[in-house]
A and B are shown apart, each in its own frame.
Chain A
Amino acid sequence: MAHLARTSIRLTRSVLVALTLALVLLAAPLVSTPVSAQQASTQDVETILAGFTRGQFPATLAAVDALAASGHPHAAPILQALSDRRLVFETASRRVLWQEGGQTFDALTGEPVAAPGPTTDVRVSNAVRRAVQTAMASLTLRAPNPATRIEAAVSILRARDLSQRAALAEARAEETDPNVQRAFDDTLAGLALVDPDAPEAERLAAVERLTARADAGARALLLSVPADATDAVKAAAAEGIAAIDRRLEIQGHVQNLFFGLSLGSVLLLAAIGLAITFGVMGVINMAHGEMVMIGAYATFVVQELMRAFAPGLLDLSLLVALPLAFATAGLVGIALERLVIRHLYGRPLETLLATWGVSLILQQAVRTLFGPTNREVMNPSFMSGSLELFGIALTWSRVWIIVFALAVFLALLVAMKATSFGLRMRAVVQNRRMAASMGIRTPWVDALTFGLGSGIAGVAGVALSQIDNVSPNLGQSYIIDSFLVVVFGGVGSLWGALVAALSLGVANKLVEPLAGAVLAKIVILVAVILFIQKRPRGLFALKGRAVES
Chain B
Amino acid sequence: MTITRRQALQMGAAFAGAFALGSRSAFAQGEPIKVGVLHSLSGTMAISETTLKDVMLMLIEQQNAKGGLLGRQLEAVVVDPASDWPLFAEKARELITGGCAATFGCWTSVSRKSVLPVFEELNSILFYPVQYEGEESSRNVFYTGAAPNQQAIPAVDYLMEVEGVERWVLEGTDYVYPRTTNRILEAYLLSKGVAPEDIRVNYTPFSHSDWQTIVSDIKRFGSEGKRTAVVSTINGDANVPFYRELANQGVAATDIPVVAFSVGEEELAGIDTGPLVGHLAAWNYFMSVDTPENQAFIDAWHAFTGDTNRVTNDPMEAHYIGFNMWVKAVEAAGTTDPDAVIDAMVGVAVPNLTGGLSAMMPNHHITKPVLVGEIQDDGQFAVVWETAGLVPGDAWSDHLEGSKDLMSDWQAPMNCGNFNVATGQCGGA
Residues of A within 8 A of B (CB): 1, 3, 6-7, 10, 57, 85, 121, 123-127, 129-130, 133, 216-217, 219-221, 223-224, 248, 255-256, 259, 262-263, 266, 363-364, 367, 371-376, 378-379, 384-386, 393, 395-398, 467-473, 476-477, 509, 512-513, 516-518, 521
B382 beta carbon closer than 8 Å to chain A: yes
Chain B residues near A384 (CB-CB < 8 A):
247-248
Asked if residues A516 and B202 are in contact (CB atoms below 8 Å), the reply is yes
B413 beta carbon closer than 8 Å to chain A: no
Nearest residue (CB) in A for B307 is: A371
Asked if residues B257 and A126 are in contact (CB atoms below 8 Å), the reply is yes
Asked if residues B237 and A10 are in contact (CB atoms below 8 Å), the reply is no
- Contacts A262-B210, A471-B237 known; 12 new A-B pairs at CB < 8 A: A3-B288, A125-B163, A220-B223, A259-B213, A259-B216, A367-B46, A384-B248, A386-B248, A473-B237, A509-B212, A512-B213, A518-B174
> For the complex, what is the distance from the CA of A470 to the CA of B374, rounded to whole Å?
24
Q: Which residue in A126, A221, A374, A385 is a CB contact (below 8 Å) of B240?
A: A374
Chain B residues near A255 (CB-CB < 8 A):
216
Nearest 10 pairs of A and B residues by beta carbon: A374-B270, A216-B223, A220-B225, A395-B248, A372-B46, A259-B212, A517-B204, A469-B237, A477-B207, A469-B240
> For the complex, what is the distance from the CA of A3 to the CA of B209, rounded to whole Å?
32
> For the complex, what is the distance from the CA of A263 to the CA of B212, rounded to whole Å?
9
> For the complex, what is the distance from the CA of A1 to the CA of B278, rounded to whole Å?
19
Asked if residues A121 and B382 are in contact (CB atoms below 8 Å), the reply is yes
Asked if residues B385 and A379 are in contact (CB atoms below 8 Å), the reply is no
Asked if residues B271 and A376 are in contact (CB atoms below 8 Å), the reply is yes
Chain A residues near B403 (CB-CB < 8 A):
none
Interface positions, chain B 332-380, Cβ under 8 Å from A, are 374, 376-378, 380
Asked if residues B384 and A123 are in contact (CB atoms below 8 Å), the reply is yes
Interface positions, chain B 266-314, Cβ under 8 Å from A, are 266-267, 269-272, 278, 288, 290
Asked if residues A468 and B248 are in contact (CB atoms below 8 Å), the reply is no
B217 beta carbon closer than 8 Å to chain A: yes
> For the complex, what is the distance from the CA of A471 to the CA of B138, rounded to whole Å?
35
B245 beta carbon closer than 8 Å to chain A: yes
User: What are 7 inter-chain pairs, A to B, with CB distance below 8 A?
Assistant: A124-B384, A259-B213, A372-B46, A393-B216, A396-B248, A468-B240, A469-B241
Asked if residues B244 and A220 are in contact (CB atoms below 8 Å), the reply is no
Asked if residues A133 and B241 are in contact (CB atoms below 8 Å), the reply is no
Asked if residues B249 and A467 are in contact (CB atoms below 8 Å), the reply is no
Asked if residues B204 and A372 are in contact (CB atoms below 8 Å), the reply is no
Asked if residues A125 and B164 are in contact (CB atoms below 8 Å), the reply is no
Asked if residues B237 and A374 are in contact (CB atoms below 8 Å), the reply is yes
Shortest distance between the CB of B370 and any CB in chain A (Å): 16
Report which residue of B205, B210, B217 has the largest number of chain A beta carbons within 10 angstroms of its beta carbon. B210
Chain B residues near A124 (CB-CB < 8 A):
374, 384
Shortest distance between the CB of A59 and any CB in chain B (Å): 12
Chain B residues near A217 (CB-CB < 8 A):
223
Shortest distance between the CB of A412 and any CB in chain B (Å): 23
Asked if residues B270 and A376 are in contact (CB atoms below 8 Å), the reply is yes
Chain A residues near B20 (CB-CB < 8 A):
none
Nearest residue (CB) in A for B256 is: A126
Asked if residues A126 and B163 are in contact (CB atoms below 8 Å), the reply is yes
Contact with A along B249-267 (1 / 0, CB 8 A): 1100110010000000011
Asked if residues A374 and B385 are in contact (CB atoms below 8 Å), the reply is no
Chain A residues near B380 (CB-CB < 8 A):
3
> For the complex, what is the distance from the CA of A1 to the CA of B382, rounded to whole Å?
11
Chain A residues near B382 (CB-CB < 8 A):
3, 85, 121, 123
Chain A residues near B266 (CB-CB < 8 A):
373
Q: Which residue in A1, A7, A123, A216 is a CB contact (below 8 Å) of B376?
A: A7
Asked if residues A395 and B249 are in contact (CB atoms below 8 Å), the reply is yes
CB within 8 Å for A379 and B376 given contacts A127-B163, A372-B50: no
Asked if residues B223 and A3 are in contact (CB atoms below 8 Å), the reply is no
Contact with A along B207-230 (1 / 0, CB 8 A): 111101110110110011100000
